[in-house]
């Protein structure tokens, strides 16, 4: 079976990024981050950053493309979470 | 700067899988999937499967390792979601 691995990679990247989008759009629109864990989201964002650097090291455009988009969204959401946790209400700590 | 890209990849894989674990463990323990979207989770699981096949095509152990673990957990959670949606309560459709 002949599979163009780059096409498969872009399909994979599109699917996992698409699955992440509704959560990202909801959080960006409402700026409600109560349902998100700061430690989990920090770990995820750091992980995606490492994947992006890994993609750059390998000069793999699929990994770079997938993780650049996800990192952008993850940093936005993490910023809202950090703002809501530490600056908006100091009594409401997660 | 010298970075062993394989080590960086495994760090990335460990971080993103670790971030996914609490949600996975919670769902597997409680079997409560009300907060999860069937379409989103199906898209995610299919995406992770494509990443795994992509990793196999590239013979990239980091991508295979990361996505094999995530796929296992995602299929478990998706199975609970499908069971809860279509078999447990036919009146409670998402």
For B66, name the nearest residue in chain A, comparing CA atoms only.
A51
Domain-located, residue A28:
no
Instruction: Specify the number of domains making up chain A.
Output: 1
Domain-located, residue A4:
no
Dist. CA A10–CA B21, nearest whole Å: 25
Domain-located, residue A25:
no
Q: Distance from B83 to chain A by nearest Cα, in Å?
A: 20
For the segment A34-62, the average pLDDT, to the nearest whole number, is 93
Q: Which two tokens stand for residue B17?
A: 């899988």
B91, burial (CB in 10 Å: exposed 0-12, middle 13-18, buried 19+): exposed
Dist. CA B90–CA A26, nearest whole Å: 28
CB atoms under 10 Å from CB of A32, counted, come to 11
Of A15, A16, A47, the CB nearest to B15: A47
Q: Which two tokens stand for residue A93?
A: 């700590």
Domain-located, residue A19:
no
> pTM of this prediction?
0.84
Domain-located, residue B94:
no
Domain-located, residue B93:
no
CATH code assigned at B46: 1.20.1280.290
Dist. CA A6–CA B62, nearest whole Å: 17
Least confident range of A29-33, A42-46, B44-48, B64-68 = A29-33
Question: How many contacts, defined by CB atoms under 8 Å, are there between A and B?
Answer: 90
* pLDDT for res A15: 95
Range of the domain at B79: 5-88
Domain-located, residue A44:
yes
Q: Distance from B26 to chain A by nearest Cα, in Å?
A: 13
Q: Distance from A7 to chain B by nearest Cα, in Å?
A: 9
Distance from first CA to last CA of chain A, Å, rounded?
50
Domain-located, residue B71:
yes
For A74, name the nearest residue in chain B, comparing CA atoms only.
B16
For the segment A11-27, the average pLDDT, to the nearest whole number, is 90
């Amino acid at each position: 079976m002949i599979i163009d691995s780059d096409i498969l990679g872009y399909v994979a990247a599109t699917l996992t990024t698409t699955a992440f989008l509704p959560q990202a759009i909801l959080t960006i629109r409402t700026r409600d981050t109560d349902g998100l864990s700061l430690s989990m989201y920090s770990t995820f964002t750091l992980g995606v950053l490492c994947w992006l650097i890994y993609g750059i090291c390998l000069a793999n455009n699929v990994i770079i493309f997938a993780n650049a988009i996800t990192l952008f969204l993850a940093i936005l959401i993490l910023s809202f979470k950090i703002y809501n946790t530490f600056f908006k209400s100091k009594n409401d700590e997660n």
